[in-house]
Amino acid sequence: DVQLVESGGGSVQVEGSLRLSCAVSEATVNTFSVVGWFRQAPGKEREGVAIIYTGTGTTDYADSVKGRFTISQDNFANTVYLQMNRLKPEDGAVYYCVAPLRGWVPRNPFGRTEYRFWGQGTQVTVSS
């Protein structure tokens, strides 16, 4: 079945940068209408962070990360990336790569129920 495997998490200081990777297997990135990143911090609900429409490359972001995070795709590498710059302590969370069922176009791209496939998550810790 489809697998999404995240990597690139770690510990970083405030204002630092990290790049997360989501490697797609048993499918291609373009199999899905959208691929996204969600995150969940301790005691908080899981929230959508960034999405990319794989056919057009159109992106969208949560207000909290606009101007700091960039989502991109590499079809050759079959990977979606999340470049995170100027990190803040509140960005610390487990980050998940997500994709919907094949053929499904999410009506609410930041709604977690839209996504069938989830990676195992990668931890990001931001220290001041």
pLDDT digits (tens, 9 = 90+) for 32-60: 999 999 999 999 999 999 999 999 999 99
Say if CB 16 and CB 87 are below 8 A apart. Answer: yes
| Beta-carbon-side half-sphere exposure of residue 74 (alpha carbons within 13 Å) | 9
Alpha carbon 97 to chain centroid, angstroms: 4
pLDDT averaged over consecutive 10-residue blocks of the chain (128 residues)? 97 98 96 97 97 97 98 97 98 98 95 97 97
Q: 89: which DSSP letter?
A: G
SS3 93: strand
Residue 17's φ and ψ, nearest 5 degrees, are -130, 150
Q: What are 93's two structure tokens? A: 């969370």
